[in-house]
Amino acid sequence: MAPNIVLVTGVSRFLGGHLAARLAADPSIERVLGVDTVPPPRDLLRRMGRAEFVRADIRNPLISKVIATAKVDTVVHASVSANPGSTGRTAMKEMNVIGTMQLLAACQKSASMRKLVVKSTSAVYGASSRDPAVFSEDMGPKDLPSSGYAKDAVEIEGYVRGFGRRRPDVDVTTLRFTNFIGPRIDTVLTRYFALPVIPTVFGYDARMQLLHSEDALAVLERATMHDLPGVYNVGGDGVLMLSQAIRRAGRVPLPVPSALVPSFGQLVRGARLVDFSPEQMRFLNFGRVVDTGRLVGEFGFQPRWTTQQAFDDYVRGRGLRPVLDPEMITGVERTLKSMFSRSGRG
């Protein structure tokens, strides 16, 4: 059944704001409410059209009044964040975990609630040397995430499952997204690949499965407009090795010994270049790939962009230029091949 009155959290950021804009453009939806602690940027607010911005903190129990007064029947929880930004990790955890708890409590008390859509992450599977080649939705992590966004997501999914048991009349859809990439979205990963010199972990070459931000929006919109309860992995087809992605972006890799990675991460964070958390560093060690068979077969969605196509669109859209002249690199490679060839004949 199509929703009537929808509330979207996190509308000051890309996914929440643009999803609210898409839903507001659908005449079958009577009303769209966008909730966040700060107003969306002016251009995004303009895109949101008839969607109503409500300045509210989901950590505050008053969110119950917003849902009850508006008689919201569908909630899309898109505000779970991996980026602490200027607020710091403590505030990020509070917004992610405490905010989700308060939002679910408000949904539980609402008689009008019919559907809950939660933006989660494939980071709940963790990242370790013992990981399987591909994670399905029924698998758990080999090593439970112990900190940061990944740990937040594990806790959030636990609360969501509890909500589902208490309110079996509400359809609950949990979307475990792989890392977002694209020319319009700003994430830790998009900032990482924009660095001219990219730090990597010496001796490791992670497998990365990415999702174009436009595909992420399309998945959220489909989950909102259709009754598709369950847990779904969401990612583009195929993988890129970290080394391949660095080459495609025209960047220069800087291998860092494992023992120096924590110190290097703190240095980069302190310089406000990229906010590397421990779980993100583990991802850059081991990578992560998920099975999207359920997304295609049961959810009915095939991502438009593959992992490689999504990454290339990001590179083109951001106008990334090679740090080193490709012709110079090719010339050096030819010279080295020629030297090795002559040495072999000698």
Q: What is the pLDDT of residues 224-257, one digit of tens each?
A: 999 999 999 999 999 999 999 999 999 989 888 8
Stronger pLDDT, 59 or 262, i.e. the higher one: 59
Query: How confident is the model at residue 140, as a pLDDT?
Result: 84
pTM of the model: 0.89
Amino acid (one-letter) located at 48: M
Mark 206-222 as b/e (b = at least 16 C-beta within 10 Å): bbbbbbbbbbbbbbbbb
Query: How confident is the model at residue 282, as a pLDDT?
Result: 81
Indicate the DSSP class of residue 113.
-
The SS3 of residue 184 is coil
Task: Give 76-114 pLDDT, tens digit per residue.
Answer: 999 987 766 556 677 778 888 999 999 999 999 999 999
Indicate the DSSP class of residue 112.
T
pLDDT over 90, % of the chain = 65
Confidence bin at 128 (pLDDT 50/70/90):
confident
Q: H/E element holding 179?
A: strand 179-181
- Averaged pLDDT for residues 129-139: 92
| Crossing angle (nearest 10°) for helices 63-70 and 99-109 | 30
C-alpha to C-alpha distance for 245 and 181, rounded to whole angstroms: 12
Contacts of 83 (CB under 8 A, 6+ apart): 92, 187, 188, 275
Stronger pLDDT, 117 or 140, i.e. the higher one: 117
Query: How confident is the model at residue 288, as a pLDDT?
Result: 94
Positive or negative, the Cα torsion across 121, 114, 51, 59?
negative
| Crossing angle (nearest 10°) for helices 99-109 and 148-166 | 10
Would the pLDDT of 157 be above 90? yes
- Strands 287-288 and 207-208 turn out to be parallel
Contacts of 102 (CB under 8 A, 6+ apart): 58, 59, 60, 61, 63
Is residue 86 within 8 A of residue 190, CB to CB? The reply is no
